[in-house]
Amino acid sequence: MGKAFDSISRGLNEAIAHAKGEKVAVKLYKPEAVDVSALRRNMGMTQEQFAARFGFSVATLRHWERGDRSPQGAALVLLNVIKRAPEAVTAALN
């Protein structure tokens, strides 16, 4: 448990320092925005097919496509992976 605790503690201290604006040796990944509607259409899928294939609700997908909401966090990361390597996502889900 010592190594795990040390790793978690170090990570928390780095996160606190980063939140305070201090320079920390962390790599910040900011996923780019994805045009969900264009991505879905380019894949030749209906909203229902896209949502079912990748685990989104149809309602959420519709909100993204209308612009009512924007994908955030893990959903945005997943959409970026789908955009770049949809076969990898499909293989991982099978």
Cβ neighbours, 10 Å, residue 32: 8
Amino acid 24: pLDDT = 77
Topology given in CATH for the domain delimited by 36-93: 434 Repressor (Amino-terminal Domain) (1.10.260)
Residue extents of the structural domains in the chain? 1-27, 36-93
Please count the residues of the chain: 94
Of 92, 94, 87, 12, residue with least CA distance to 43: 87
Q: What is the pLDDT of residues 36-72, one digit of tens each?
A: 999 999 999 999 999 999 999 999 999 999 999 999 9
Q: What is the pLDDT of residues 14-37, one digit of tens each?
A: 888 888 988 877 677 889 999 999
Q: Is the pTM of this model over 0.75?
A: no
Q: What's phi and psi for 21, nearest 5 deg?
A: 90, 5
* CA angle centred on 71, ends 57 and 64, rounded to 5°: 60
Alpha carbon distance 32, 55 (integer Å): 20
Q: Higher pLDDT residue, 4 or 28? A: 4
